[in-house]
Structure 1
Amino acid sequence: MILLQVQQVMRRFGANVLFENVQMDIQEHARVALVGRNGAGKSTLLKMIAGETVPDEGQISMRKGLTIGYLAQDQGLDSRNTIWEEMSSVFAELHTLEDRMHSLEHQLSDPETIADQEAYQQTLKTYDQVQTEFQQKNGYGYQAEIRGVLHGFQFDADVYDKSVTELSGGQKTQLALAKLLLEKRDLLILDEPTNHLDVETLTWLESYLQSYSGALLIVSHDRYFLDRVVNEVYDLSHHEMVHYTGNYDQFVQKKAARIQAQWKHYEKQQAEISKLEDFVNRNIVRASTTKRAQARRKQLAKMDRLDRPDGDEKTAHFGFHAAKQSGNIVLTVKDAAVGYQDRILSEPDNLNVKKHEAIAIVGPNGIGKSTLLKSILGKIPFIKGQATFGTNVVTGYYDQEQRNLHDRKTVLSELWDEHPTTPEKDIRTILGSFLFTGEDVDKPIHALSGGERARLLLTKLAMQNNNFLILDEPTNHLDIDSREVLEVALNDFDGTILFVSHDRYFINQVATSVVELTPEGTELFLGDYDYYMDKKQEQAEIAEAAASEAAEQEAAANPEAPESAASAAPKSKGQQDYQASKQQQRQKRKLERSVAALEERIGELETQADEIQQQMVQPDNLADADKLQDLQKQLDAVNEAHDQTENDWMAQAEELENLAD
């Protein structure tokens, strides 16, 4: 079933057309990506679909009663509530039902109601109806649902009472997305939802969206994210829209094949045109052939000429080149600690970077990845240890905070001041290769967009001819095409690269190895991002199996005693704390598995109850009193099992929550 249709939509800015004749169909449960270059009009189109603006031409129609949730770029939640209050407000209807249930429970325990049998039965009937509705709408599970979503966005229980006003801009955006997910709209429109998310949160969000019950329309520069979430792609380019089926990788292949076919048809037509024009030019003045030449001329006039493929859009084209080669050992960091003012974020940190390697540093937000790069460069001192560069190493640094740009300068002067002996014509040519042309070079830097500032930083870096590039989030602010150009440039670079990135697709394309940064230090993985993730999964499985085996062996050796003889011996305070922590972890894992199993069982029982109720309203069964009575007994048994399972779940969920506290 189609939820929403975009039909022949146009948007103008003054005399210029941003896009026209745009068409899009969003089906029920669709997983749609909208891609295109910065400035193509993606966010503008999303605002139209969300109902915030209207098209200049065309229309957007939608199914009656369609609910839409829209998250604009970097749109933070504006509320004076606490985090928990704001999330809980999504379930206002359940709160009303819960209050109604408590009111009815009070009435049922009232002696006057009990004395009036008719009133008691009526109240009991009403209570059953309200309780059933409360149960069907996940009244007993919505708090666990809130906790699950908040945990996915790294909001733990100790911050639930924190006011939304105290959060950072990035956290407010995450909370806005969390609230939208809980609202379960029919269509969720997300404009760059992966901004401000670390890899762990991104992985959780991908998993959540894969099972989201409604339809999704997403704009994102995160190609890895799109590959895992979407199965349709709409490409907004050359002022028009083209639809492709498949994820992002499949879209890239199909678009390339489509453009190749267009070129083939275009070149074939051009050859035919050239042949016809040549015949006309040679034969139009000859009496014997003039009629045939006139016929060819008419044929040319009637021909529907194909446009040159790819339109007039430009792509940046640049490269990085080392002026001289470094030695084989480029960088060594041994047993270092990074942090601020004696607060250690990660220790011990070890790096051994060799010539021509491309090493990606990954880890959660706040772990010290950028701090490590700055410490290596001497911008922030190591708390412990030091960095040692090899022979002939010349470093170039890309700062994600863009602090090495001067806001009062123009684009041209930013480069020319650093390379005063280079002719202006050459500076303009280099800037042109990074898409700064014409009047663009006279723009003041403070007026540039994030993407333009990123391209200018890359221009400066390319002109330095370093042999060791240290890059901090180089793909931030770049559109997908610019990211792909950067990937090619780095893969062709004849030097060494050390970089921090949350862009997993970029890491896969560029990295020869991955270093994970944790509070316990660094760990090296000799492969790309997918290899790193496979190894992490393998490590987790081995650790879980080892813990399970150890627990089983301990239980088998001492079936009655809570502790073995060895463990019963006097222990130091540290040993006692360690054993208590391990025991708590085992208990927590056991409870988590049990709670998950109970949740699954509740879902199964609810499905069984729905199926029985559907059978009860079938005409044949309604006419058969015995059959109806039998179905009612089945339903009562299922409901009883459901209530008992739900009680077990609530008890264990509360125990788990207390354990976490």
Structure 2
Amino acid sequence: MILLQVQQVMRRFGADVLFDNVQMDIQEHARVALVGRNGAGKSTLLKMIAGETVPDEGQISMRKDLTIGYLAQDQGLDSNNTIWEEMSSVFAEVHALEDQMHRLETQLSDPAVIADDQTYQQTLKTYDQVQTAFQQKNGYGYQAEIRGVLHGFQFDADVYDKSVTELSGGQKTQLALAKLLLEKRDLLILDEPTNHLDVETLTWLESYLQSYTGALLIVSHDRYFLDRVVNEVYDLSHHEMIHYTGNYDQFVQEKAARIQAQWKHYEKQQAEISKLEDFVNKNIVRASTTKRAQARRKQLAKMDRLDRPDSDDKTAHFGFHAAKQSGNIVLTVKDAAVGYAGQTLSEPDNLNVKKHEAIAIVGPNGIGKSTLLKSILGKIPFIKGQAVFGTNVVTGYYDQEQRNLHDNKTVLSELWDEHPTTPEKDIRTILGSFLFTGEDVDKPIHALSGGERARLLLTKLAMQNNNFLILDEPTNHLDIDSREVLEVALNDFDGTLLFVSHDRYFINQVATSVVEVSPEGTELFLGDYDYYVDKKQEQEELAAAAASETAEQDALANPDATPASAAVPRSKGQQNYQASKQQQREKRKLERSVAALEAKMNDLEQQATVIQEEMAQPENFSDSGKLGDLQKQLDAVNAEQAQAETDWTEQAEALENMD
């Protein structure tokens, strides 16, 4: 069932059209992502769908009685209530039913009511009805539901009585989202819901939204989050909307294939046009060939010419290059401790960074990840230990707090002052590659947006030609396009990387290993983020099994302390726990395998289409040898596709049977 439809919607800003003829269908239980570069109009469209603004043209229709919850970017909760009071206000109807139950209970204990059988029976019937409604609305479990959601957002019981007004901006935004989740609207519209969330909270939110009963419409720069939550993507770019099925990764692949196909058809037609025009120009004045030239001219006139495919000409394009190579050992930190006077955040911390490695540092907020980077750079002293750099190591630092910029300077002077011997033209060219063009270079830095400041910091870093980059949350404030450009630049970098990031997709794309920071120090995982998550899961399962085994051994060694009958249920419960964990692990593997097979089938289908198009070309159609080769290729692709479909069917059925 369709909950909401966006039909031929347009938005203008003055004489400029932000987007036009936008179409969108949101089905019941849909999981939809809205993507597009900064400034494309995503937030503007969300406000229209939420009913806060109206389109300039077109309409938005919705199912009768549809309930919508909308969270704008960094929209904090504004309330004088305590945290618990604000969350509990969602269940006002439950409170009213509970009060009614108490009143009816009082009446049922009234001697006068008891004495009148008819009144008593009627009151008892009303009580049963109210109690049933109370139970259906989770009256006996709503407090546990509130506690579960608050705990997911890192609000523990000791802050329930804290006033909302005392919270930080980020906490108010998290609380606004928590309240929306408890309200259980039919359609939840979330604009950048992952801002201010650490990885632990993000993981919890992903799990919660996966089981959310209503529909979801989400704008987010967190591609890992989108991959885990959505199964449809609407791409708002070049003033129009295009719909894709699948998660974010599948969208990226399908969009690339679509653009590649558009260019292929466009270039093919351009070659045909050029050939026809060349014939006309050479033969129109010759008596013997003028009729043929006129026929081709008519053919050109009737041709439905394809528009040149839109190119991402406003995407930043840059790279990082090392002016000289470092030694093999880049950085060593041994048994160090980081923190501040009187407070140790993490100990012992150990790092052994070698040339060309890309190491991601992860851990919860406040654990000392940024502090560790600053201690390595000498900006904050280690509580214990030191950082030792290798031979010829030259470091460059990206500060997430953006303190490396001077607010009183312009964009141009920020770079030129550091490189006074570089010609202004070259400085402007470099800035242009980071999307600072025309009058942008004369903007004062204090007037820049967060994304513009981030790009300027990256520009400065790229001009330093360091061989060891230390980056603190480099993807903050960047849109998806800029993040992808940064990933390519860092993967092509001929130096060494050490970075802190909450962007799990970014870590997967860039990191060769992951270092987790905790109060107990650092732990190295030799893989990307997904590998790190899998290994952590294995560690937790082994720890649980070891704890259970120890408890059972203690029980056997001390039968008087623990009844033998109590040991049996504990052992059986552990077996059930291990079986459940094993099933979850197998299910995750199957899910990844099914997704990989789906991607493979899509890729093979595109290969088959390309081969068929080549076979249909006149020059190949008349060449039996070439046609035979192409047919062999097509047969091989079809055979591989048939096998992939068989494997997919088997594994999809196995996955379905696990649910």
- TM-score of Structure 1 vs Structure 2, range by shorter chain: 0.7 to 0.9
**Alignment correspondent of 1:395:** 395
Residue identity opposite 2:228 in structure 1: R
**8 Å Cα contact 1:47-1:53 kept in structure 2:** yes
> Any idea what the Cα deviations from partners look like across 1:438-483, whole Å, max 9, x if unmatched?
1111111111111111111000000000111000000001111111
Q: Tell which deviates more after alignment, 332-341 or 230-239.
A: 332-341
**8 Å Cα contact 1:238-1:313 kept in structure 2:** no
**Alignment correspondent of 1:603:** none
Matched, 1:289 2:259: no
Whole-angstrom distance in 1 between the partners of 2:207 and 2:71: 19
Cα distance, 1:208 vs structure 2 = 0.4
Distance change (3 Å), C-alpha of 1:501 and 1:421: same
Length-normalised TM-score, structure 2: 0.85
Q: Secondary structure at the match of 2:540?
A: helix
Whole-angstrom distance in 2 between the partners of 1:459 and 1:312: 20
Whole-angstrom distance in 2 between the partners of 1:522 and 1:563: 41
Residue identity opposite 1:542 in structure 2: L
**8 Å Cα contact 1:514-1:525 kept in structure 2:** yes
**8 Å Cα contact 1:346-1:521 kept in structure 2:** yes
Cα distance, 1:311 vs structure 2 = 3.9
Query: Equivalent residues in 2 for 1:63-78 (5 A)?
Result: 63-78=63-78
**Alignment correspondent of 2:470:** 470
Whole-angstrom distance in 1 between the partners of 2:198 and 2:346: 17
**Alignment correspondent of 2:206:** 206
Query: Equivalent residues in 2 for 1:19-168 (5 A)?
Result: 19-168=19-168
Cα distance, 1:415 vs structure 2 = 0.4
**8 Å Cα contact 1:431-1:441 kept in structure 2:** yes
> Any idea what the Cα deviations from partners look like across 1:289-345, whole Å, max 9, x if unmatched?
333323322322232221211346422111111111111111111121111222111
**Alignment correspondent of 2:231:** 231
Q: Tell which deviates more after alignment, 337-346 or 289-298.
A: 289-298
Note the residue ranges of structure 1 that are not aligned, 5 or more in a row.
565-585, 597-661
> Any idea what the Cα deviations from partners look like across 1:598-647, whole Å, max 9, x if unmatched?
xxxxxxxxxxxxxxxxxxxxxxxxxxxxxxxxxxxxxxxxxxxxxxxxxx
**Alignment correspondent of 1:352:** 352
**Alignment correspondent of 1:383:** 383
Residue identity opposite 2:192 in structure 1: E
**Alignment correspondent of 2:450:** 450
> Any idea what the Cα deviations from partners look like across 1:174-221, whole Å, max 9, x if unmatched?
100000000000000001111100001000000000000000000011
Q: Secondary structure at the match of 2:5?
A: strand
Note the residue ranges of structure 2 that are not aligned, 5 or more in a row.
565-569, 581-659
Whole-angstrom distance in 1 between the partners of 2:123 and 2:563: 53
Deviating 4+ runs (over 3 angstroms) = none
Matched, 1:504 2:504: yes
Q: Secondary structure at the match of 2:73?
A: coil
Q: Secondary structure at the match of 1:514?
A: strand
**Alignment correspondent of 2:494:** 494
Cα distance, 1:117 vs structure 2 = 1.2
Residue identity opposite 2:151 in structure 1: H
> Any idea what the Cα deviations from partners look like across 1:58-109, whole Å, max 9, x if unmatched?
1111001000000011111111111100000000000000000011111111
Residue identity opposite 1:162 in structure 2: K
Whole-angstrom distance in 2 between the partners of 1:537 and 1:471: 27
Number of positions where the alignment pairs a residue of Structure 1 with one of Structure 2: 569
Residue identity opposite 2:140 in structure 1: Y
Residue identity opposite 1:375 in structure 2: S
**8 Å Cα contact 1:98-1:134 kept in structure 2:** yes
Q: Secondary structure at the match of 1:64?
A: coil
**8 Å Cα contact 1:238-1:311 kept in structure 2:** no
Whole-angstrom distance in 1 between the partners of 2:12 and 2:299: 36
Whole-angstrom distance in 2 between the partners of 1:301 and 1:480: 41
**Alignment correspondent of 2:422:** 422
**8 Å Cα contact 1:8-1:59 kept in structure 2:** yes
Q: Secondary structure at the match of 2:285?
A: coil
Matched, 1:169 2:175: no
**Alignment correspondent of 2:186:** 186
> Any idea what the Cα deviations from partners look like across 1:360-408, whole Å, max 9, x if unmatched?
0000011111111111111111122211111111110000011111112
Query: Equivalent residues in 2 for 1:7-22 (5 A)?
Result: 7-22=7-22
Whole-angstrom distance in 2 between the partners of 1:206 and 1:77: 21
CA-based RMSD of the aligned residues comes to 1.6
Q: Tell which deviates more after alignment, 304-313 or 462-471.
A: 304-313
> Any idea what the Cα deviations from partners look like across 1:517-558, whole Å, max 9, x if unmatched?
011111111111011000000000000111112222222333
**Alignment correspondent of 2:590:** none
Length-normalised TM-score, structure 1: 0.84
> Any idea what the Cα deviations from partners look like across 1:146-180, whole Å, max 9, x if unmatched?
00000101111111111111111111111000000
Residue identity opposite 1:302 in structure 2: K
Residue identity opposite 1:396 in structure 2: G
Q: Tell which deviates more after alignment, 305-314 or 160-169.
A: 305-314
Whole-angstrom distance in 2 between the partners of 1:65 and 1:279: 65
Matched, 1:365 2:365: yes
Residue identity opposite 1:118 in structure 2: Q
**Alignment correspondent of 1:520:** 520
Q: Secondary structure at the match of 1:44?
A: helix
**8 Å Cα contact 1:342-1:383 kept in structure 2:** no
> Any idea what the Cα deviations from partners look like across 1:543-599, whole Å, max 9, x if unmatched?
0111112222222333332599xxxxxxxxxxxxxxxxxxxxx9xx99xx9xx9xxx
Residue identity opposite 1:33 in structure 2: A
Query: Equivalent residues in 2 for 1:635-650 (5 A)?
Result: none
**Alignment correspondent of 2:616:** none
**8 Å Cα contact 1:335-1:350 kept in structure 2:** yes
**8 Å Cα contact 1:234-1:243 kept in structure 2:** yes
Residue identity opposite 2:209 in structure 1: L
